[in-house]
Amino acid sequence: MYLALKQHFTKESYDYHTYNGKVRASEQSFEQRRDRYFFKKLATKYDDSEILYYFVANFIVDPKGYIKSFSDGNYQTWKIHSESLGYKLRQDVSLLLNSYCSPYQDKFDKIFHIEDKQHPLVLKHYLAGDICLETLVIFEKCLGYVSKFDTKLTDPIWKDVRHRVKKYEPFLVGSCERYRQEILTEIRTKL
């Protein structure tokens, strides 16, 4: 599972869900790894679905997937974000809308506006650590802004963020309808 997720998050061509998490690796090659005890310890601590999200949470923090940088803290933080995703989304939308004066319903599209190849407001706030990656993924899943950004942004920072968003998207569960309602609720509370 680790090798499949590592390829998913590091290689553009591999998709964990398309290949059902399969990679070419033998048990013999696993036994030769120096970090095999880490994986065995992890297997006793978590069940399969928890291990999947443990790795996803850690690959989001460190896309290169170095085992030494993996921690339970990253997983716990990810679990908290996942459990309060609606609340976190509303907070992030509120923060983005606070950059503009009312009427807010007319301003929501402006957070995605690119002018003179400068990063849009949503990307600036993400890079500053003000909003979370999950918010960007939800916006992509429900609104589909990445293709528009691809035509106007060519810098390596955007390419890295784009890669994270696209690779994390299949692991974020929830319906677009629910997320749209959260966004509209936040816009209405601002009116």
The pTM for the full model equals 0.86
Residue 92 — pLDDT band, cuts 50, 70, 90?
very high
CA gap 131, 88 in Å, rounded: 9
Work out the angle at residue 98's Cα, subtended by the Cα atoms of residues 90 and 184, and round it to the nearest 5 degrees.
40
Share of the chain above pLDDT 90, in %: 38
Average pLDDT over residues 154-168: 93
Strands (E), the chain: none
Whether pLDDT at 85 is above 80: yes
Average pLDDT over residues 2-26: 86
- Please give the structure tokens belonging to residue 147: 């293709």
Whether pLDDT at 104 is above 70: no
pLDDT at residue 147, rounded to an integer: 92
Q: Are 86 and 184 in contact (CB under 8 A)?
A: no
The structural domains of the chain, with segments of one domain joined by +, span 2-78, 84-190
Length of the chain: 191
Fold observed for domain 84-190: Annexin V; domain 1 (1.10.220)
Average pLDDT over residues 14-30: 83
Whether pLDDT at 138 is above 90: yes
